Amino acid sequence: MTSQEAKPAEPTSTLTTHPVLGVAGVLLGAMIATCMGRLMSVGLADLRGALHLGVDEASWINTSFNASMMFIGPFSVYLGGILGPRRVLLWCAGIFTAVSAVLPLCHSLAPLIALLIVAGFTGGTFYPLTLSFVLRSLPIRYVLLGIAMYATDIVFTTDMAQAWESFFVERLSWHWIFWNGALLTPLMFVLIYFGIPRQPLPTPKPGHPAPSWRGFLYFSFGVALLYIALDQGQRLDWFHSSLILGLTVAGIFLLLSAIVRHFLLPNPLINYQFLLRRNTLLLALVLISFRFVMLATVVAIPSFLGSVRGFRPLQEAPVLVWVAVPQFVLGVAAMALMRRIDPRLILTAGFSLVAIACLLDSRVTSVWAGPDFGVSEAVMAIGLALAFNSMVGSIVLEVLDTGALSRPADVLTFAGFFQVTRLFGGEVGASLMGHFIAIREEFHSNILGLNVGLGNGIADQRLRGFRAALSPHSTGFAATGRAAELVGLQVRQQAFTLAISDGFLLIAMCCITCLVVVAFMSKVPTQYRQIVASGSGS
């Protein structure tokens, strides 16, 4: 009788008969969604050339996809609550596959944007359900392995996108920016089909209100509009544009409407009170900081190599590979450390190493090339692995400590909150960095320009040298004009290099600020060593 009573106490034993397949499916889905977004960002110039688009037109390619992902992030909480994750993921995987296959066949902007919106709606559901399913499906002793797989999946895909895009364009075709998703998503479909069990449609408990879609719709539209404003703000000169102003006002109004509606008519799928925990809010700030920190490898280094050194994407890729490839080993190492050490200490070490790497990169000069980033990128790889794994580990530890896995509303709330934080924080960071580099480049250009003019000894000597070198090919005023253009180009290169150096310093300051945030996090009573020990003994 005792053994029979003990069996129902295992909450995860009936979730699925093939948990490894289901976990592999959702992890693959997260990788596919990350990869497509990054490939379009890295390959935007190739897409512009293939589709004969201008800069302004092409800027809406990434905006439409990412804003749709932002919209579906909160709304997927509602869909998962009323349909179950299996139905949502299977339907969205099927639609995403079809859309990815058709996208390269579009030869004008309007149908391309329409299909990208559909791709964002469907691909955006792959994220929020990933980590919660991993936690609910894996045996407790394998939780750390699942965290390492998830963290490595995201960081590796983000940094490897440059190499993949370069390979597609150089060896195959730009079409594979989209077709790689069409090729991988059917595998995800199969894994989810056989890995996540069929479940009946959820029904509201007697006496509880039925889930409402209106609050989710308001909130999703609100964050999507704000995302568009952030993404297009730098190009349209921020609040000097009536479009940016209108998007911002409408987004804030919809967010406030969603919050007011929730408190007047509470939704059973959302528990805002669960988010009002000290560590949860501080971890959201850490996640935003991490998204900003990743711009060191996603924006700063590729921008420098491309704009100053004239590298092609295929030449930039090896520099980022130095960060991406070690993540497999470093992720497992970070997982092993969390079995023995408080994740907050690992988080501190990770952000400290990233700050050191950025300080090393802040010494960049206009003659640096790929190998000059070698030492700093090795330090960066270790720091990012420790920081991201321990950050995800801290988030998971918070969920486990509160017992939220036994409360579906809390899990859905938690997943939706961190999905919105991840996407919105990343866009805030990218917008801030883009604006910062533009302002600093203008500042340095003005300062350098004050010392470059006729009458300045060094400038005159440089101008005469260029003119002498160009004289065999040009004569008179033509040689002088071309020499002046070369001097102006050197000024722009130096100004941009100094702006990139300031960007690295800004990221280092962000890391230091994040260390202060981590210092205010409270220790979770139950650490991974106790969790793993209890799982091994069960």
Whole-angstrom distance, CA of residue 504 vs CA of residue 501: 5
**CATH fold group of domain 11-199:** Growth Hormone; Chain: A; (1.20.1250)
Could you give the percent of the chain with pLDDT greater than 90?
13
Q: What is the pLDDT of residues 326-343, one digit of tens each?
A: 777 787 788 778 888 888
| Digit-coded pLDDT (tens) for 34-73 | 888 888 888 888 888 888 888 888 888 888 998 898 888 7
SS (H, E, C) 494-533: HHHHHHHHHHHHHHHHHHHHHHHHHHCCCCCCCCHHHHHH
* Structure token digits, residue 50: 């293939």
Average pLDDT of the chain is: 79
Residue 478 has what pLDDT? 59
Low-confidence winner among 85-99, 309-323, 432-446, 449-463 (lowest mean pLDDT): 449-463
Contact of 502 with 346, CB cutoff 8 Å: no
Over the range 366-402, which residues count as b (16 or more CB within 10 Å of their CB) and which as e? eebebebbeebbebbbbbbbbbbbbbbbbbbbbbbeb
- CATH class of the region 270-538: mainly alpha
What CA–CA distance (Å, rounded) separates 274 from 404? 9
Question: What is the phi/psi pair of residue 454, to 5°?
Answer: -65, 135
Distances (CA, A) of 38 to 32, 77, 160, 264, 429: 10, 24, 9, 40, 15
Residue type, 392: V
Taking each helix axis from N to C end, the angle separating 143-171 and 176-195, rounded to the nearest 10 degrees, works out to 150
Provide the residue ranges of all domains of the chain, joining segments of one domain with +.
Answer: 11-199, 212-267, 270-538
Averaged pLDDT for residues 498-514: 93
Alpha-carbon torsion (223, 31, 317, 164), positive or negative: negative
| Residue predicted with more confidence, 116 or 426 | 116
Same fold, 11-199 and 270-538: yes
Instruction: Say what the pLDDT of residue 475 is.
Output: 58
Own/partner long-range contacts of 83-87 (Cβ < 8 Å, ≥24 apart): 83/201, 83/202, 84/199, 84/201, 84/202, 85/129, 85/133, 85/196, 86/192, 86/196, 86/197, 86/198, 86/199
For residue 152, give the amino acid letter. Answer: T
Can you give the length of the chain in residues?
A: 538
Nearest of 300, 223, 209 to residue 255 by alpha carbon: 223
